[in-house]
């Protein structure tokens, strides 16, 4: 079988490592790039580099921020309610909740969920800095807004157990969200209702 030139094969392999991209799509994308005009391709290269070079994670909440601003816009906004903290899995969840305009507190991004099957334990997530925030700050309520999936629920339960000795009010998003769904894909109305109908955690 004829082999593709190495640079093209490397590009296909790189696309195939992206989430949700199979071998056929990866090949289609690579040929699309090959046939694209130079400026379009270099624009893409610049965007890729900028994402890696100009962005970082907020030192407080671990949401995405410009590398030049080590503390993100939300954490440094004096208008936000500093007593309420919403814990989410990924930066995209912050975006989804911000779109609802139903929450004016602060966030904490875990960067994943506990998953024994995939070998993800508490130390692989931003749980330690979360607990330190709770011990040192003014936070009186934590809203556990992990996804309504098995891992999301297990992570919420684990966090609730960790937080119980601190005497902080801990709530979980209401069950308006479809089980197994992703917060980032929930429509604004559903997410708003889930937020306003949040319930005390019981374990």
Judged by the rule CB under 5 A, the positions of this chain that interact with Zn ion are 58, 60-61, 63, 72, 75
CA dihedral 153, 159, 163, 169 (to 10 degrees): -40
The structure tokens listed for 27 are 């090949």
Nearer to Zn ion, 72 or 96 (CB): 72
Task: Considering the complex, state which of residue 60 and residue 177 has its C-beta at the smaller distance from Zn ion.
Answer: 60
Instruction: Using the minimum distance from each CB to Zn ion, give the nearer residue, 72 or 113.
Output: 72
Question: Nearest distance from residue 56's CB to Zn ion, in Å?
Answer: 11
**Cβ 66 to Zn ion shortest distance, Å:** 12
Minimal distance, residue 67 CB to Zn ion, in Å: 13
Q: Which residues of 35-72 are buried (b: 16+ CB within 10 A; e: fewer)?
A: eeeeeeeeeeeeeeeeeeeeebbbebbbbbbeeeeeeb
Per DSSP bridges, beta strands 169-172 and 199-200 are antiparallel
Secondary structure of residue 174 in the 3-state scheme? coil
**Cβ of residue 97: shortest distance to Zn ion, in angstroms?**
14
Closest distance to Zn ion from the beta carbon of 122 (Å): 21
Query: For 18-88, where are the alpha helices, taking DSSP H only?
Result: 23-35, 38-53
| Closest C-alpha among 65, 103, 101 to residue 86 | 103
Return the number of the residue (126 or 151) whose C-beta is nearest Zn ion. Answer: 126
Q: Which is nearer to Zn ion, 133 or 193 (CB)?
A: 133
């Amino acid at each position: 079988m004829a082999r593709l030139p190495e640079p093209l094969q490397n590009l296909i392999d790189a696309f195939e490592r992206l989430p949700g991209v199979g071998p056929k799509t990866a090949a289609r994308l690579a040929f699309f790039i090959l046939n694209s005009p130079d400026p379009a391709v270099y624009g893409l290269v610049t965007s890729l580099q900028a994402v890696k070079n100009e962005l970082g994670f907020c030192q407080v909440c671990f949401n995405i921020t410009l590398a030049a601003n080590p503390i993100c816009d939300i954490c440094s906004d004096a208008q936000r309610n500093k007593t309420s903290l919403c814990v989410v899995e990924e930066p995209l969840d912050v975006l989804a909740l911000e779109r609802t305009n139903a929450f004016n507190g602060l966030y904490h991004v875990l960067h994943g969920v506990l998953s024994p099957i995939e070998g993800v334990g508490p130390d692989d997530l931003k749980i330690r800095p979360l607990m330190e925030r709770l011990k040192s700050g003014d936070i009186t309520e934590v809203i556990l807004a992990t996804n309504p999936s098995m891992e999301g629920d297990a992570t919420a339960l684990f966090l609730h157990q960790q937080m119980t000795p601190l005497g902080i009010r801990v709530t979980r998003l209401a069950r308006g969200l479809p089980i197994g769904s992703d917060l980032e894909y929930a429509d604004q109305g559903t997410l708003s209702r889930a937020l306003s109908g949040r319930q005390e955690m019981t374990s």
